[in-house]
Amino acid sequence: MKETPNHGQIDIYNFDDTIFKYLINEQLEVLWSNIEVLELDKNIVVYTEGSRPKGVYLVKKGILKIYKTNNEGKEHIIRFAKPNDIIGFRSVISDEPYCTSAKTLEPAVLVFVPASIFISFLKENNLFSLQLVKLSCKELGESNQFITDLALKSLKERLAEVLLILYNNFGTDKDNFLRITLTREDIANMVGTATESIIRQLAELKKENIIDLVGKKIKILDLKKLENLGKQ
Amino acid sequence: MKETPNHGQIDIYNFDDTIFKYLINEQLEVLWSNIEVLELDKNIVVYTEGSRPKGVYLVKKGILKIYKTNNEGKEHIIRFAKPNDIIGFRSVISDEPYCTSAKTLEPAVLVFVPASIFISFLKENNLFSLQLVKLSCKELGESNQFITDLALKSLKERLAEVLLILYNNFGTDKDNFLRITLTREDIANMVGTATESIIRQLAELKKENIIDLVGKKIKILDLKKLENLGKQ
DNA sequence: CGGCTCCTTGATCAAGGTCAAGACATGTGG
DNA sequence: CCACATGTCTTGACCTTGATCAAGGAGCCG
């Protein structure tokens, strides 16, 4: 019925930890026979703001940044996508051009689901649409939080907030290093500030023994203090 | 079957221009017999950030601001709700405390729909959940746009953007005055800045013949220039 | 009238943006 | 393996934006 090609350790046909687990077997069959697997290098653009959505992407491996670019070319990172996240569904559902772009930060494996298939699942399967309502409401809550953070907080507090978001999304390894490695510029583009300012603020946090810096890796030394800063 | 009490010119039981038009007749009956009508003065708080959601509110008359407050008491306005909008659904669906507060800007009439009823509609009626997915995706798109605006734009550009949002949501009267009247402080709380800064920037826009100011009323003189500023 | 609330303006100052220059790291082709 | 190029990080100096403080004016209402 289905073969399982070997993409590293990844089982492309396993949707247990994704929103597609709410599909009925019949729909899973449709899904299996319509998906397309994409193996991408790092720094590959998956879709671009303004273009027409062809479908949604399920992340199987790797991390992507979801961002917007203003017309001076400066980019702003809205969020990241990690394995088992789906991206691009907002535009598919609204049937509008993508309002963001997506780019791989590291080599990635994506599963592409055509828009028509995705929409038909929504129409046929109420449990599935219900879960998608929940998902988009969750993202909406996060976006609203982010709006307030940007509007009311100081640079340092916003940086703390961003580090916490990264911590909650990607966790830390056994040595307390964040499991995502970003350039200073990427961090600046999340916080909405200049690279130099981020460097100075990171140095501040290090001086206060809240974090430690080893190359691009960031080590969380004092989560409590970081949370206090972020919750300011 | 249903009586139609007279709340001004408002037909409380008419849901034609709201998301409830997707309910089947049987569900409308349930809705009619479970709603509660609230007539509120201006500056009344409908729900508060952090409290448990009891249900959703349909705006029948008036304008409300949806905002968050930080712990220094400074508020940030996320958006406004106007007649036929529903508010509070995000928290009901996520079953989380409200992440925002809602307050009337003028005397208002709201229809309260208990959470359990609202959720049951979602579970029973796929068309209804589909529409709600669309609604939350639309709000998500707007939120993402707002995030980028706040992060990348100058004060003046953000003000232009906010004026455009107001224009698109509330329109203008025959003399080109915005159909919503806000205090300078409210505008500042949308843009995420200080009241004084807004006053200075409004004066700037007036000097450039882009807007005119008559008391609290704002007149749009040059929509093109305003859009160019906002789209910067 | 007096007491609100809201608007406005000026002066001052700090946060953070910008520019410039150099250090360090990484990768690539010869 | 080296030489060079490119990308990233860091620091210092300077300057702009917009936040804050202070004071006064305008409008409104009981």
Residues of B in contact with A91 (CB under 8 A): 141
pLDDT band at residue B110 using 50, 70 and 90 as cut-offs: very high
CA atoms B12, B13, B16, B18: torsion sign: positive
User: How long is the CA A146 to C1' D17 vector, in angstroms?
Assistant: 23
User: How long is the CA B194 to C1' D18 vector, in angstroms?
Assistant: 8
* pLDDT per residue as tens digits for the range A160-216: 999 999 999 999 999 999 999 999 999 999 999 999 999 999 999 999 999 999 999
- Work out whether strand B108-114 and strand A64-69 pair parallel, antiparallel, or are unpaired: unpaired
Number of helices and strands (H, E) in chain B? 8, 10
Closest by CA to B204, choosing from B159, B146, B165, B168, is B159
d(CA B162, CA B190): 7
| pLDDT at residue B4 tops 60 | no
Q: What is the DSSP letter of A22?
A: G
pLDDT for the residue A56: 98
- Cβ of residue A128 closer than 8 Å to a chain B Cβ: no
Going by C-beta distance under 8 Å and a sequence separation of 6 or more, which residues neighbour residue B127?
A: B22
Task: Compute the average pLDDT of residues B105-122.
Answer: 96
Phi first, then psi: what are they for B56, rounded to 5°? -110, 160
How confident is the prediction for chain B on average, in pLDDT? 92
DSSP sequence for B126-147: HHHHHHHHHHHHHHHHHHHHHH
Helix, strand, coil abundance in chain B, percent, nearest 5:
45, 25, 35
Closest by CA to B136, choosing from A139, A19, A55, is A139
pLDDT band at residue B232 using 50, 70 and 90 as cut-offs: low
- Which 3 state secondary structure label does DSSP give A187? helix
* pLDDT per residue as tens digits for the range A126-146: 999 999 999 999 999 999 988
Could you say which residues from 36 to 75 on chain B have a Cβ atom under 8 Å away from some Cβ of chain A?
A: 68, 70-71, 74
The answer to whether the beta carbons of residues B222 and B210 sit under 8 Å apart is yes
Decide: residue A140, CB within 10 A, 0-12 exposed, 13-18 middle, 19+ buried.
Answer: buried
| pLDDT at residue B6 tops 80 | no
* pLDDT per residue as tens digits for the range B37-87: 999 998 999 999 999 999 999 999 999 999 998 877 788 999 999 999 999
CA atoms A67, A140, B17, A91: torsion sign: positive
Going by C-beta distance under 8 Å and a sequence separation of 6 or more, which residues neighbour residue B80?
A: B63, B64, B65, B66, B105, B166, B169, B170, B180
Listed by range, residues with Cβ under 7 angstroms from strand C are A 154-156, 192-194, 196-197, 215; B 183-185, 195-196, 199-200, 202-203, 213, 216
How confident is the prediction for chain A on average, in pLDDT? 92
Residues of A in contact with B191 (CB under 8 A): 151
Task: Compute the average pLDDT of residues A97-107.
Answer: 93
Decide: residue B215, CB within 10 A, 0-12 exposed, 13-18 middle, 19+ buried.
Answer: exposed
The answer to whether the beta carbons of residues A125 and A24 sit under 8 Å apart is yes
User: How long is the CA B106 to C1' C4 vector, in angstroms?
Assistant: 19
| pLDDT at residue B7 tops 60 | no
pLDDT for the residue B8: 53
d(CA B137, CA B143): 10
Report CB contact under 8 Å: A137, B100.
no
pLDDT for the residue A231: 77
| pLDDT at residue A3 tops 60 | no
pLDDT for the residue A1: 45
pLDDT for the residue B70: 82
> How many angstroms separate the Cα of B70 from the Cα of each of B67, B98, B116?
10, 14, 30
Report CB contact under 8 Å: A151, B96.
no
d(CA A79, CA A89): 14
Q: What is the DSSP letter of B100?
A: S
Report CB contact under 8 Å: B150, A148.
no
| pLDDT at residue B119 tops 90 | yes
**Nearest residue by alpha-carbon distance to C1' of D10:** A199
